[in-house]
Amino acid sequence: MKIEVKEWSAAALDQYSTIPIAYEVNEVFDPVTNGTIGEEFTLKERRLIQPYVKDYDAIAGNHPSQWPTQFDVSNWGVLIAESDDQWLGGAVIAWKTPGLSMLEGRTDLAVIWDIRVVRDARRRGVGSKILQAAEDWSRSRGCREIKIETQNINVPACKFYARHGYKLTTINPNAYDNLPDETQLIWSKTLHLES
């Protein structure tokens, strides 16, 4: 399968949202430590007795069509992966966005705000192509670092980011008031700029 990743404008967020993001949660990562102050957490995998479906787009305020009402998306990138004119997935990258705390007020940092791959195209290299394109997009804007947020309930995503050189930099078990059973995980990767 030949996969091509193309850049679209942020005006395409409504179209982008037609790519489904829902997935089945079968396992979670529990952050564990031996209790030493300042010790880093590790993640321990745990199977769920009762799997469930998670759909980020169904969370109030989280649908791609709502992002422009919450943020200035004029510097955001929208990437679409396709094969034979069929959309297989995509990513949205946030950059130079006032008020977006994950960007820390920096212009050399980008955040993969969203990444999704249609169910039938998962584990076929589509996500890797999209991730590489997001890194290239960020690097072309002078970014030296890229971050992505996920949750401990998205074990496949966590493993995917780790395989692609991302380091777990933040574990926040209290990040989501309306989702107390989920832990926020922030992954980061240094981008080497070409000279």
The CATH number assigned to the domain holding 53 equals 3.40.630.30
Q: What total of structural domains would you count in the chain?
A: 1
Look up the pTM and report it.
Answer: 0.92
- List residues bridging with 189 in a β-sheet: 146
- Phi and psi angles of residue 149, each rounded to the nearest 5 degrees, phi first: -105, 140
How many CB atoms sit inside 10 A of residue 20's CB? 13
Going residue by residue through the chain, which has 195 residues, state the pLDDT in tens, using 9 for 90 and above: 788 999 998 888 989 999 999 999 999 998 876 655 555 677 899 999 999 999 999 988 899 999 999 999 999 999 999 988 889 999 999 999 999 999 999 999 999 999 999 888 788 889 999 999 999 999 999 999 999 999 999 999 999 999 999 999 989 888 888 888 899 999 999 998 775
Domain that holds residue 11: 4-190
Residue 151 · residue 186 · CB < 8 Å: no
Structure tokens at 116: 């999704």
pLDDT at 122: 82
How many CB atoms sit inside 10 A of residue 106's CB? 12
Structure tokens at 151: 């949750």
pLDDT at 173: 86
- List residues bridging with 28 in a β-sheet: 46
Please report whether residue 123 resides in a domain: yes
pLDDT at 191: 96
Which of these, 147, 136, 130, lies nearest to 184 by C-alpha position?
A: 147
Please report whether residue 41 resides in a domain: yes
pLDDT at 120: 84
Please report whether residue 146 resides in a domain: yes
For the chain, how long is the longest CA-to-CA vector? 53
Please report whether residue 76 resides in a domain: yes
Please report whether residue 195 resides in a domain: no
CA dist., res. 112 & res. 83, Å (int)? 22
Please report whether residue 149 resides in a domain: yes
